[in-house]
Amino acid sequence: MSAKKVKPVKYTPEPTSSKSTFILGGIAVLVIAVLVIGGVLWQSNRGKARNEGYGTVQNTAVQVELQDDGVIVLGLPDAATTIDLFEDPLCPYCAELEHKHGQELAQAVDAGDVAVRYHMLAFLDQLSASGDYSTRAVAAGQCVAQTGDATAFSAFHAALLSPENQPAERSDSDLTNAELAQMARDAGASDEAAQCVADGARVEQAAVDAEAGRQALAAAGASGTPAVVHNGTVIDALGNDNWVAELG
């Protein structure tokens, strides 16, 4: 007697995708796209200059003074508050701060909302092509400041940290004293200031002042440049977009 044949069962594979799967996949793609676009926009806005178009200090009543310790004070005599700003002319993050908040800060200085005590450091000399660029740039700023021309100093300071002028760390070249002197002239500085820069007249003293500034930076509890100190507190100037507005 033969065995009874078993009727084969037809196998129908389940679909690997369904309408709901396609919908969920589409939503996921949309969410990722939104996150990517949002991230790009956030990064773009994060690097955008605040108060774009204002420029540097314009109020002729603003004063600038080069103090005995090399600190440069910029502001109206009756400014509402004062900050200490520590920078190195070769520091790329200092340039980032100037690009983003320089014009906003200039307007606040013009309005008498804030005065700035600039502590210019030179610890990045070793990363410059000439080996002393930061010190020479600090000296150049002192030459301009000591003439008492606040608008020229503000313009020179902004130019010093601009992408067009700031040398890169470990680059093959930087700016000569003659080029720094021309930059001072372009900023509106006097012939006296430009000659001081060209001659390197303040380089030796600038080195002493920059070291004093480095010690003041450490005493303030900051770990590097740029550093903004207000009423004894180090401000997150690169992380907080609203720090200038919050000074009051």
Q: Domain holding 134: CATH number? A: 3.40.30.10
Q: What is the pLDDT of residue 248?
A: 76
Coil, helix or strand for 28? helix
Coil, helix or strand for 85? strand
Is the C-alpha dihedral spanning 127, 175, 215, 91 positive or negative? negative
Q: What is the pLDDT of residue 20?
A: 54
Residue with tokens 């509890």: 221
Beta strand ranges found along the chain (DSSP E): 63-66, 72-75, 82-87, 115-120, 227-230, 233-235
My answer on whether 39 and 131 are in the same domain is no
Helices (H), 128-202: 133-145, 150-160, 177-186, 191-199
**Do strands 233-235 and 227-230 pair parallel, antiparallel, or not at all (unpaired)?**
antiparallel
In a domain, 186, yes or no: yes
Q: What is the pLDDT of residue 210?
A: 98
d(CA 129, CA 122): 14
My answer on whether 30 and 121 are in the same domain is no
Residues spanned by the domain of 195? 63-247
In a domain, 4, yes or no: no
Coil, helix or strand for 158? helix
Q: Which regions in the chain score pLDDT beneath 70?
A: 1-46
My answer on whether 34 and 78 are in the same domain is no
Q: What are phi and psi of 117, to 5 degrees?
A: -100, 105
Question: How many residues make up the chain in this entry?
Answer: 248
Print burial letters for 162-188: b (CB count within 10 Å at least 16), e (below 16).
eeebbbeeeeeebbebeebbebbbebb
My answer on whether 72 and 36 are in the same domain is no
Beta bridge partners of 85: 118, 228
In a domain, 211, yes or no: yes
In a domain, 111, yes or no: yes
Q: What is the pTM of this model?
A: 0.82
My answer on whether 107 and 23 are in the same domain is no
Residue with tokens 């009727």: 7
My answer on whether 147 and 191 are in the same domain is yes
My answer on whether 99 and 130 are in the same domain is yes
The type of residue at 228 is V
In a domain, 135, yes or no: yes
Q: How many domains does the chain have?
A: 2
Beta strand ranges found along 88-206 (DSSP E): 115-120
**Do strands 63-66 and 82-87 pair parallel, antiparallel, or not at all (unpaired)?**
unpaired
Distances in whole angstroms, Cα of residue 139 to Cα of each of 66, 76, 136, 231: 11, 23, 5, 27
User: Cα angle at 111 between 47 and 88, to 5 degrees?
Assistant: 45
Q: What is the pLDDT of residue 131?
A: 98
In a domain, 54, yes or no: no
